[in-house]
Amino acid sequence: MTNPLLETWETPFGLPPFDRIEDAHFAPAIEAAMVEGLAEVELIAINPEPPTFENTIEGLMRTGASLDRVLGVFYNLAGADSTDAREEIMREFSPKLAAHSAAIYGNQALFSRIEQVWLARDALDLTPEKARVLMLTHRGFVRAGAALMGGDAARMKEIKGRLATLGTQFGQNLLADERDWQRALSEDELEGLPGFVINAVRAAGKERGAGGPVLTLSRSVIVPFLQFCPNRALREEAWRAWVARGENGGKTDNRDVAAEILGLRHERAQLLGYDDFASYKLETEMAKTPDAVRGLLMEVWEPAKARALEDAALLEERMRADGVNGPLQAWDWRYYSEARRREEFALNEAELKPYLQLERMIEAAFSCAHRLFGLAFKPLDVPLYHGDARAWEVTRDGQHVAVFVGDYFARASKRSGAWCSTMRSQRKFPDVQGPIVVNICNFAKGDPALLSYDDARTLFHEFGHALHQMLSDVSYEMISGTSVARDFVELPSQLYEHWLEVPEVLQEFATHADTGEPMPREMLDKVLAAATYDMGFQTVEYVASALVDLAFHEGEPPADPMSEQTRVLTDLGLPQAIVMRHATPHFAHVFTGDGYSSGYYSYMWSEVMDADAFEAFEEAGGAFDAEMAEKLERFILSAGGSEEADVLYTKFRGRMPGVEALLKGRGLAA
């Protein structure tokens, strides 16, 4: 049969032909593309010509195009619309793809050519961008183990294959626990819930064919349920199911998986000559060392914990006033915190949500991008992988920039959370390609779909990542868009969240779902005043997770990660009614791949910069200052990984920031 994944796509903007792609196409396409890719690499390795930047480094950039294209489609579908067949393909090909990568990085003839170009770099008269690409290529091969020989090289290959299998297993176990748990709700159990929560559980029941409302473990459903459900026993039941993901025993339990991953990462780092995995991982980040990471996190931990303990005492008073004795528990926090917020700010999320329509918030994100960067968004009528997904052509001054795909609603086939990915990254070499950028979210369906303020912030956050991809303007894909240090990659996304809080943006786009009236100024003022409300809780649950992640990867790996988690949290004095944002068995950031391993701190590292960067706009002409927007695009968004992150930020701001702007922005400054 013909395989559309292996054809040239004669489609608008080179989009994947989703109306022709079937699950049966993926395995043969991946197999064929791997064979083709290795053959392309081997031609470079055996080239009799002396190695040059052009025939070796740029030659390498030309290889693997078919595999990149196939995997760009597959991985997007595997995360956003999983099926049994796609999960089986993931399990089958994760170790095969790891072996494929190991074969490239372990090709001694290829590495010898790269090494020769590297040693001759000073005589090559390379442009700064080419010099950067050469450095990253050489460093990437060394860090992947290309210089290892004999038994060490063989063991590295084994470790990579096993880690790929385990990361896939961890993610699929988590998805299974999230997909399989549901709690039917009686009509009596809906009492006291606001309309948007009732609509969400009814929609979840309909999506799952349950014949009535059901509670699921989707964050967009369970968090508001915990905020508003007056039934304490039901809150506890729901909360316990939510935090037990990945540790329910049986075949989906992730505790042993996490332990094996940590042990293999440590061994991998030691094979490469590092003391531990944290030292290996952080060497290429802005932070550089575990001590620098811990220093930042502890600067924030103490004021955040102090605020959280103050808040806990106030919430416990409210609980006692309800006639509930005993200490405040984790399943009580959101409920009593929401009640306190309603009282202190006269701000009721049930009254706020109708002003935060999904469609209007998408318009708001687009409008800000137009005002800042001149981008325009035109809906596209093209086949996509799911009925919920939508596409827009992105242009500037009439010229094509990118295709943007938004997939916003929660469903059982989609893994939890929110993320930005690409089906094609920006590049000019070997050919000019407009990127295809995807934002995935997990919002509750409704008619119309209404967002919480946190949901709206998530939408802006992921769109900030999308802008980093769409506005990238470099020659080589390996330094394109979000291909930057992990603790720098969250700067554009977290910075873009600030535009949601610009009063003129909310006044224009926060309009009531029924009346069309703009959000009243009084409510807008309350929203902005409450922006740092409950920040002690939010900061503590995040920093606790980041410190546990760091402890897992520094020094000898723990034989029992759960015991190590308990030790770290006990030493920190984690308030009794707060848990980690991501406990070990469902810490997907850290265990489904290496991306955020020993790097979960990076959100806060980037936040130091994003708070300072938005201050730059405020110090200039305001949120839409044209000169600052131009500098943001030139030095951050378009530059990708073409220079070191601290160099790029200093070019934008004139200096590196301190933690003061972050503490001020979170309302935690003394």
Question: Which DSSP letter does residue 478 get?
Answer: G
Beta strands in 175-287 (DSSP E): 183-184, 214-215
**Residues 6+ positions from 132 with CB-CB distance below 8 Å:** 479, 641, 642, 643
Say how far residue 641 (Cα) sits from the centre of its chain.
18
Please list the helix, strand and coil fractions of the chain in percent, rounded to the nearest 5, in that order. Answer: 60, 5, 30
Strands 375-380 and 390-396: antiparallel
CA distances from 556 to 301, 431, 497 (A): 24, 46, 38
**Helix residue spans in 471-557 (DSSP H):** 486-497, 503-509, 521-529, 535-553
Lookup: tokens for 362: 């998408």
Give the up-direction half-sphere exposure of residue 535: CA atoms within 13 A in the CB hemisphere. Answer: 18
Torsion of CA 168, 172, 174, 176, to 10 degrees: -170
Longest dimension (CA), the chain: 83
Instruction: For residues 219 and 233, give the distance between their C-alpha atoms in angstroms, rounded to a whole number.
Output: 19
The owner of tokens 């006990």 is: 570
The owner of tokens 């064979």 is: 35
Instruction: For residues 77 and 92, give the distance between their C-alpha atoms in angstroms, rounded to a whole number.
Output: 16
On the question of a cis peptide bond just before residue 379, with omega within 30 degrees of 0, the verdict is no
Q: Are 35 and 41 in contact (CB under 8 A)?
A: no
Instruction: For residues 210 and 191, give the distance between their C-alpha atoms in angstroms, rounded to a whole number.
Output: 20
Torsion of CA 456, 459, 460, 466, to 10 degrees: 180
Torsion of CA 254, 539, 492, 601, to 10 degrees: -50
β-partners of residue 46 are none
β-partners of residue 443 are 409
Q: Are 163 and 203 in contact (CB under 8 A)?
A: no
Instruction: For residues 303 and 663, give the distance between their C-alpha atoms in angstroms, rounded to a whole number.
Output: 9
Q: Is 363 a catalytic residue?
A: no
Instruction: For residues 243 and 558, give the distance between their C-alpha atoms in angstroms, rounded to a whole number.
Output: 21
Q: Which of 462, 541, 564, 633 is catalytic?
A: 462
Instruction: For residues 560 and 572, give the distance between their C-alpha atoms in angstroms, rounded to a whole number.
Output: 19
Instruction: For residues 349 and 298, give the distance between their C-alpha atoms in angstroms, rounded to a whole number.
Output: 32
Which sign, positive or negative, has the C-alpha torsion 270, 272, 277, 280? positive
Task: Work out the burial of residue 337: count CB atoms within 10 Å of its CB; fewer than 13 is exposed, 13-18 middle, 19 or more buried.
Answer: buried
Q: Are 216 and 222 in contact (CB under 8 A)?
A: yes
On the question of a cis peptide bond just before residue 17, with omega within 30 degrees of 0, the verdict is no
Lookup: tokens for 45: 């390795």
Task: Work out the burial of residue 325: count CB atoms within 10 Å of its CB; fewer than 13 is exposed, 13-18 middle, 19 or more buried.
Answer: exposed
Indicate which residues carry an active-site annotation. 462
